[in-house]
Structure 1
Amino acid sequence: MNESMLGIINATYDFSSLQALTQHRSLAALPFGGRYRLVDFMLSNMVNSDIHSVAIFTGHKNRSLMDHLGSGKQWDLDRKRDGLFVFTPNSQGDNEEFGSFNHIARNMDYFLRSKQKYIVITNCHIVAAMNFKPILRRHIEAGADITEVLHDGQSLQTYIMEKDLLLDLFHQYKDKGFHSLIDVVKEQCSTLCSHKYEYDGYVAIIDSIESYYKHSIEVLKPEVWKQLFMTGEPIFTKVKDQPPTRYGKEAKVGNSMIANGSIIEGQTDNSIIFRSVKIGKGSIVRNSIIMQKSQIGENCVLDGVIIDKDVKIEDGTILTGTAEVPYVVEKGTVQGALMNS
């Protein structure tokens, strides 16, 4: 029995509530968990499920995503046969071009040439360690046309079906006003033999600043960390060779995740610190997310804050947010004590 799978990741999402973090990057490229990007999770899940051909359909603002993915080498997808395929929208496309259905129309050869019988469709903003092989087995056993993956009864917009059925749906609906593949699949779930699969592992759906902050801080909990990173199926990402983090004599670290290349001279508690971050002497960082290459001056207090990459926080600055309304500092900006007084 041919149980090989083809993977599709829809990276066209752009939630308005995340604009402060995605105005310079695609949602798929949003940093998460100290050293990863959101797309790493579903992409790694596919590789760990023995899926050797993955297509990522992107929207605009994809420069950082393309740089991150490269040839797919980090995921063992730089192959002579199959591998990683990234399909971008037309450069002059309007909003209609963001629909993955239009991407399929322009890249039909990819599907026609592929030899895999089944296809997995998912999106870029789900954080989970999910193996698709048991889902496929359940799909076959149930004799389903479409299997939809749920978590706590909520759809993850993740589907398994035969590739030929997908192509049939495309030809049936291509002239009926649909622009999203997911819209077509949801339309057909009520008429075809549809099966529901309840996934009981940890799942985070990143669709707002609040959910990004909440689930980022949740990773600091050992029970969540084990479900994401200790399953025996690693989450792969782009490797950057940097020295270990250096801790000053007065540094204090409690329940924090700190990536390599950083310099910690102050205090961090319940925080996630990305690569090459500097926290100056006398500064306190609590309940915060500090992205790569940001510089925190001396005697600062940051609590409930999300600092995007390449930000400079000047000496003596105090920034405070909450779990419900985190304080967000946008990429490449400067925050000073006088600005916030």
Structure 2
Amino acid sequence: MSRSKNILAFVMAGGEGSRLHPLTAERCKPAVPFNGKHRIVDFVLSNLVNSEVYSIYLLVQYKSQSLIEHIRQSWTMTRFIPQHFVTVVPPQMRNGPEWFQGTADSVYQNIHLIESFRPDIVVVFGADHIYRMDVRQMIDFHVANDAQVSVATLPVVLSQCDQFGIVETDEDHRITGFVEKPQATRPMPGSRTHTLASMGNYVFNADVLLAALRSAHETGHSDFGKHILPAMLKTHKLMAYDFHTNTIPGTEPYEESGYWRDVGTLDAYYEAHFDTLGARPKFRMTNRHWPIYASPDQAESAQIENGLINRSIVGSGSIVDNARLDHAMLRRSVLVEPGAEIEHCIVMERSRVGRGARIRRAIVDQDNDIPPGESIGFDLEEDRRRFHVTPSGIVVVPARFFPARKQVVAAPTPSEQAPPVAQIEWLTGEPRLGAMA
């Protein structure tokens, strides 16, 4: 239905991610690592590309250098097909020395890109969430209902209404009300406990979007959720797309239906990692029919010398030497020395966990050299003196908090194809290698 439409995508990747600090001390939220070898932005980009939406502008802002490098290395599309691109776009400073003032302003500052591309439909998606979505199904819904704007929605508990744009609809899914992050709201039809929330993913008819952006700029309005969408309710047809109707090939019966996580807090980010672990995870990273593409990896394969490993992921180039891992996620080139114990932890690139060190319920950012015998996560009062500790007790060790003693892992040997991440259940011999995510 939508195959004949010319589609342009904008991805909002300028999020500062202040609630993810210290992980966002040197990088923006979409650039924060996730799972064995991904970054958060890879999910929305993979969804668009898998949906055959190939013309993508990525709008960046805060601390964007690591994100720019990631896009350059991982998302370069062929120069021989002009409309196949993922292009990073910084603020254009059209209103003087100002960064993007809101979601709508970020698109308005790049309105010339819409005018020159001349699309039929513009999709505007966020870059902050962990999920799979066939965007074409939402576009087909938009076209079939003769909508001018469509908003992706899903139910959330009433107590979380202040975290989302809340949508009210009639029986035909037409939006009748839109309030951004209210303190209280009514339940959605047919429920006493849930309300309908916007996912921050929008489909616009291009002419409608252009007119709305110009009008909003004249009135000083800068945000889709706060300003533009509520103002359009009486003059345009806005439809609510039910994300739970979206079907993805290759989804297993044991996976959580309509899995979607806003990883905007450290606790949510931490918990989402462990939703991907195990033989029957809530969200399986290795769906061959709908891959979440990762950055190219030139490191060597993971190496397991000995030890006891339960339900863990060991990234490429990592070495586990006679240590114990339980629900651990090691990203690339992590060295775990003999006698070390890592339990319910995320350990990022080029870190070393010293001999006999114990770490529990922690996020260790990249380039840390945990000293031998160090203990993290067992005495939270002591941990709070050195690190950030979330209300639920997750300890966050900033990047390079423990300076390197020496080179952790030998220089990687280039290879033609990136090795897969190893996902390991009860390890008694060689690791079982999962498919390329």
Which TM-score applies when normalising by structure 2? 0.71
Partner in structure 2 of residue 223 of structure 1: 281
Q: Could you tell me which residue of structure 2 aligns to residue 293 of structure 1?
A: 350
Q: Please list the CA deviations of residues 141-163 of structure 1 after superposition, one character each: whole Å capped at 9, or x if unmatched.
A: 11211111112232111111111
Shift of 1:95: 6.4
Q: Alpha-carbon deviation of 1:72?
A: 5.8
Partner SS, residue 221 of structure 2? coil
- Select which of 60, 63, 68 maps to 1:61: 63
Give the structure 2 partner of residue 196 of structure 1: 240
Verify: 1:112 aligned to 2:115, yes or no: yes
1:330 and 2:398 correspond = yes
Deviation, structure 1 residue 59: 1.0
Give 1:244's aligned amino acid: S
Q: Which residue pairs with 1:163 in the alignment?
A: 206
Root mean square deviation, CA, Å: 2.4
Alpha-carbon distance in 2 for matches of 1:296, 1:71: 28
Give runs of aligned pairs for residues 141-152 of structure 1, distance below 5 A: 141-152=144-155
1:5 equivalent in structure 2: 7
In 2, are the aligned partners of 1:151 and 1:203 still within 8 Å (CA)? Answer: no
| Residue in 1 that maps onto 2:143 | 140
Within 5 Å, which residues of 2 pair with 1:53-92? 53-70=55-72, 73=75, 76=77, 78=79, 80-82=81-83, 83-89=85-91
| 1:195 counterpart SS class | strand
**1:10-68 CA distances to partner (integer Å, 9 max, x unpaired)?**
01222321121101001110000110001000011101111110011111211100000
Unaligned runs of 5+ in 1: 337-341
Give yes or no for contact 1:49–1:131 (8 Å, CA) kept in 2. Answer: yes
**Counterpart code for 2:197:** Q
Q: 1:88 to 1:257 in 2, by over 3 A?
A: same
Q: Tell me the CA shift for residue 4 of structure 1.
A: 3.2
SS class of match (2:67): helix
Q: Kindly name which structure, 1 or 2, has the bigger radius of gyration based on alpha carbons.
A: 2
How far 1:184 sits from its partner (Å)?
4.1
User: In the alignment, which of 329, 335, 340 is matched to residue 283 of structure 1?
Assistant: 340
User: 1: CA distance between counterparts of 2:324 and 2:206?
Assistant: 53
Between 1:60-69 and 1:177-186, the stretch displaced more is 177-186
8 Å CA contact 1:71–1:77 kept in 2: the answer is no
Q: State how many pairs are aligned.
A: 333
Secondary structure of the structure 2 residue equivalent to 1:253? strand
User: Which residue does 1:304 correspond to in 2?
Assistant: 361
Scaled by the length of structure 1, the TM-score of the pair is 0.90
Q: 1:274 to 1:45 in 2, by over 3 A?
A: same
Letter paired with 1:30: V
Find 2:319's aligned residue among 263, 280, 292.
263
Identify the residue that residue 22 of structure 1 maps to in structure 2.
Answer: 24
- Whole-angstrom distance in 2 between the partners of 1:79 and 1:33: 33
Change (3 A) 1:72 1:218: closer
Are residue 127 (structure 1) and residue 183 (structure 2) matched?
Answer: no
Identity of aligned residues (%): 21
Q: Pick closer, same or farther for the CA change 1:219–1:189 going to 2, 3 Å.
A: farther
**Deviation per CA, 1:101-152, whole angstroms, max 9, x where unpaired?**
3443443221111143111111111111111111111111112111111122
Structure-2 separation of matches of 1:103 and 1:252: 49
> Distance in 2 between the 1:333 and 1:93 partners?
38
Contact 2:74 2:296 (C-alpha < 8 Å) held by counterparts: no
Name the CA shift for 1:332/1:210 in 2 (closer, same or farther; >3 Å).
same
Measure, in 2, the Cα distance between the counterparts of 1:49 and 1:323.
Answer: 38
- The CA deviation at 1:211 is 0.7
Q: Which has the higher helix share?
A: 1
Aligned position for 2:174 = none
- SS of residue matched to 2:309: strand
1:127–1:203 contact (8 Å) kept in structure 2: yes
- CA 294–73 in structure 1, closer or farther in 2 if over 3 Å, else same: same
Q: How far apart, in 2, do the equivalents of 1:164 and 1:35 lie? A: 39
